[in-house]
Structure 1
Amino acid sequence: MFDLIIRQARLSNGALTDIAIDKGKIAAVGMLSGSAVREWDLAGRYWLSAGWIDSHVHCYAKSPIYHDEADRIGVESGVTTVVDAGSAGADEIDDFFQLTRGASTRVYALLNIARGGIVTQNELADMANLDEQAVKAALQRHPGFIVGLKARISSSVVEQNGIQPLRRAKTMQQDNGQLPLMVHIGNDPPDLDEIADLLTAGDTITHCYHGKANRILAPSGILRASITRALQRGVRLDVGHGSASFSFAVARAAIAQGILPHTISSDIYCRNRLNGPVYSLAQVMSKFLHLGMTLSQVIDCVTTQAADGLRLAEVGRLEPGYAADLTIFDLQRAVCLFGDSDGQTLPGERQLVPLVAVVGGQGSMTDEGKKRNDLSL
């Protein structure tokens, strides 16, 4: 007998299935005849996917600039795994790790290559903040928590140091088992071509659709040659929406050329969650439904592709043996108006509304889920 069977769940491809959960793992997927201690019947009305992974958030609550609570942007918003993208460096990572132990959401970290993390907006303006030995020691202390490195390579962060912090980041990466490296792009210098030419297979460019001059599209509107070469080498594109890093115009033009993101992430923290334009990962995902991506493509960007990019071996898939991390959601049809980081708007008619987040077999309703009288779990 299973611990839980979820009946008649609708997958992103429209198919219906049952999911059996036992001892915190997915035990079986398909039309099941077995019994369970508990059953939830979605009756084909609600959608289900592997638990959503937001691969770029800021949830170190003690960070002075970008901070939030892991569960507020996690399970309470339908997201089962969050990856903090560089809020903490080697100096704060022990404290950040301890803070996350009480969260219901799975929390991982990309370690900022600056040992102080983001305590100012220009953490890479002083090369003395880069300490390879401190990075190595932090990785040795938290091998299951730190899943990669984060380097913010834009003019306001690096100031006069240009491309040099990225060169140091690549050395840190190579010296520590070729960990995933996420690179923030924005205003130049350094020029995006310089950045892209240093990146190798598995590296991620975040804020890939920002609207600043140093963007992935050339003035002609086609993809920069350096980005084409990077993608051919296996470099990945991450959305990282944020307060100032997502343009409908750039995303629309890129997607029209077949340049889709590998991962959809929010770059969420308290202010852009409360005041926009981000609000939640679900809102960011909904925008991409209106920019030409299918539901299956959007869901893949926050499940399988997110897990693969960060080498998260136990989550991201609806397959037996994987952690029982699930998101149950509605695809609500209602007139809505979405905003980007440049003040532009996009009218829509569909929104992803997360209702339940299940982590390791333990389910909790989101705020919206609690309002649904017909969803009894």
Structure 2
Amino acid sequence: MVDLYVKNGKSVTGEPLEVTITDGKISAMGRALTVDRAKETLDVAGRYLSAGWIDDHTHCYEKLTLYYDDPDEDGVKTGVTTVIDAGSTGADNIGDFYQITRSKKTNVLAMINISKTGILAQDELGDMNRVQWEPFAQAVADYPDFIVGIKARESHSVVVDNDVKPLAKAKEYQQRLAKQLPIMVHVGANPPELKDILALMTKGDILTHAYNGKPNGMLTDQGQVKSFVTEAYQKGIIFDVGHGTDSYNFNTGEVAIAAGLIPKSISTDIYHRNRENGPVFNMATTLEKMMLLGFDLATVIKMVTAAPADNFKLSQKGQLKVGLDGDLTVFEVQEKPKQLTDSNGNQRTTNQVIVPTQAIVAGKVYQTEVEA
């Protein structure tokens, strides 16, 4: 007997789709399944079914005072089945974060901050004494299934006068680890200069906040993509949206995409304040903004499923395939106007509104709390 039978769904390209989940894994898929017995049946009444959405840039360690949230507020309540916390914690407190997340409904993973304190204060990398190999390596060894990446925040308020020294240390530590972990790099106000940051990054590293509208961003004063940014993209650095309060600009996105700098992954950089007050609100709203730039539904869904799974080597997630984790997102697309706002207050109107209705984690169904 299967645990969950999800019937009357459709794929992101519109074909009929039904799925069963047994013991937390996808056990069958097809246009119209014959299921004799199921412990639970969910009739999604023609809604879309996708692999569970993955948000690979969140801040959800609840004990912080700057950037924090409940993982389930960013996760299953919004249709996201897996959240990856982007460096809220370091070696000093990532163990506590791990223990807290064991009781959450959402799958929670983490990048470890190169500073052992995590983001206890805005300038966690202003003192290089907080960057220490031994506790960092021990934490990675202690939580191998929880820590999936390394985070270095490279903006002036974070590093103060240390420029790219923290990133250089992160790259050193990345090479020393037996387990290869990607580095996600936050960029913002300079110094450090974006050019110097990208020069240290290598193929497979992730540039988040890539499409911000700041002076130290990817565009020249004349509104063209800087040549060194194109070179970084071509050498295999992954460009991630990382919307956040201050880090996504409609015009930057348009110019970059027209120049061929397509984001591989879409993430929110969500925490309680930009979830409650905007401009982020949730993953669905972020997807709507990317569709405004010309991406179709199948493409943006890949950017929050297969792409982040590949970024962080989550081999059991991100695809609808028999044997993989039974994580699904059920959603609909409504045709109605909605005003969207970027991080600089620019507003545009979409007529495609994405509304998640259920998040399914390892075969357990959770109703979302996203307003239509």
- 3-state SS of paired residue (1:184): strand
Task: Tell me how far apart the structure 1 counterparts of residues 43 and 277 of structure 2 sit (CA, whole Å).
Answer: 36
Shift of 1:368: 4.3
Task: Tell me how far apart the structure 1 counterparts of residues 370 and 265 of structure 2 sit (CA, whole Å).
Answer: 25
Larger mean Cα displacement after TM superposition, 332-341 or 356-365 = 332-341
Task: Tell me how far apart the structure 1 counterparts of residues 128 and 370 of structure 2 sit (CA, whole Å).
Answer: 46
Deviations 1:11-30 (A, max 9, x none): 11121111121111111211
Does residue 121 of structure 1 match 2:122?
yes
Output the amino acid matched with 2:35: G
Output the amino acid matched with 1:313: S
Deviations 1:183-238 (A, max 9, x none): 00111111111111111111000001110011122334333222222222221011
CA shift in 2, pair 1:229/1:178, >3 Å: farther
- Partner residue in 2 for 1:346: 348
- Partner residue in 2 for 1:20: 20
Shift of 1:4: 2.2
Does residue 145 of structure 1 match 2:146?
yes
Task: Tell me how far apart the structure 1 counterparts of residues 274 and 56 of structure 2 sit (CA, whole Å).
Answer: 16
Shift of 1:9: 1.2
Output the amino acid matched with 1:221: G
- Partner residue in 2 for 1:204: 206
**2:79–2:356 Cα contact (<8 Å) kept:** yes
Task: Tell me how far apart the structure 2 counterparts of residues 36 and 300 of structure 1 sit (CA, whole Å).
Answer: 32
Task: Tell me how far apart the structure 1 counterparts of residues 36 and 199 of structure 2 sit (CA, whole Å).
Answer: 55
Deviations 1:303-351 (A, max 9, x none): 0001000111111110001000000001112211001111111111111
Output the amino acid matched with 1:17: L
Deviations 1:346-375 (A, max 9, x none): 111111111000000001111248x9xxxx
The total of aligned residue pairs comes to: 369
Deviations 1:20-49 (A, max 9, x none): 2111111121122233313333342x1110
- 3-state SS of paired residue (1:55): strand
Taking structure 2 as the reference length, what is the TM-score of the superposition? 0.96
2:192 aligns with one of 190, 193, 216? 190
Output the amino acid matched with 1:285: L
- Partner residue in 1 for 2:132: 131
**2:62–2:68 Cα contact (<8 Å) kept:** yes
Task: Tell me how far apart the structure 2 counterparts of residues 159 and 122 of structure 1 sit (CA, whole Å).
Answer: 7
- Partner residue in 2 for 1:257: 259
Task: Tell me how far apart the structure 2 counterparts of residues 357 and 190 of structure 1 sit (CA, whole Å).
Answer: 40
Task: Tell me how far apart the structure 2 counterparts of residues 124 and 140 of structure 1 sit (CA, whole Å).
Answer: 23
Deviations 1:139-175 (A, max 9, x none): 0110100101000001111111111111011001111
- 3-state SS of paired residue (1:160): coil
Task: Tell me how far apart the structure 2 counterparts of residues 281 and 130 of structure 1 sit (CA, whole Å).
Answer: 32
- Partner residue in 2 for 1:238: 240
**1:80–1:358 Cα contact (<8 Å) kept:** yes
- Partner residue in 2 for 1:275: 277
Taking structure 1 as the reference length, what is the TM-score of the superposition? 0.95
Shift of 1:291: 1.5
Task: Tell me how far apart the structure 2 counterparts of residues 110 and 47 of structure 1 sit (CA, whole Å).
Answer: 30
- 3-state SS of paired residue (1:260): coil
Output the amino acid matched with 2:22: D
**1:79–1:327 Cα contact (<8 Å) kept:** yes
**2:270–2:282 Cα contact (<8 Å) kept:** yes
Write out the 4+ residue segments of structure 1 that deviate beyond 6 Å after TM superposition.
Answer: none
Does residue 88 of structure 1 match 2:77?
no
**1:97–1:145 Cα contact (<8 Å) kept:** yes
- Partner residue in 1 for 2:35: 34
Task: Tell me how far apart the structure 2 counterparts of residues 72 and 319 of structure 1 sit (CA, whole Å).
Answer: 27
Shift of 1:282: 1.0
- Partner residue in 2 for 1:53: 54
CA shift in 2, pair 1:56/1:121, >3 Å: same
Task: Tell me how far apart the structure 1 counterparts of residues 37 and 335 of structure 2 sit (CA, whole Å).
Answer: 33
Output the amino acid matched with 1:115: K
Flag structure 1 segments of 5+ consecutive residues without an equivalent. Answer: 372-377
Task: Tell me how far apart the structure 2 counterparts of residues 88 and 108 of structure 1 sit (CA, whole Å).
Answer: 12
Task: Tell me how far apart the structure 2 counterparts of residues 110 and 220 of structure 1 sit (CA, whole Å).
Answer: 36
**2:225–2:255 Cα contact (<8 Å) kept:** no
- 3-state SS of paired residue (1:107): strand
Does residue 247 of structure 1 match 2:249?
yes
Output the amino acid matched with 2:13: N
Task: Tell me how far apart the structure 2 counterparts of residues 6 and 192 of structure 1 sit (CA, whole Å).
Answer: 46
**2:335–2:352 Cα contact (<8 Å) kept:** yes
- 3-state SS of paired residue (1:65): coil
Identity between Structure 1 and Structure 2 (%): 44
Task: Tell me how far apart the structure 2 counterparts of residues 4 and 96 of structure 1 sit (CA, whole Å).
Answer: 30
Flag structure 2 segments of 5+ consecutive residues without an equivalent. Answer: none
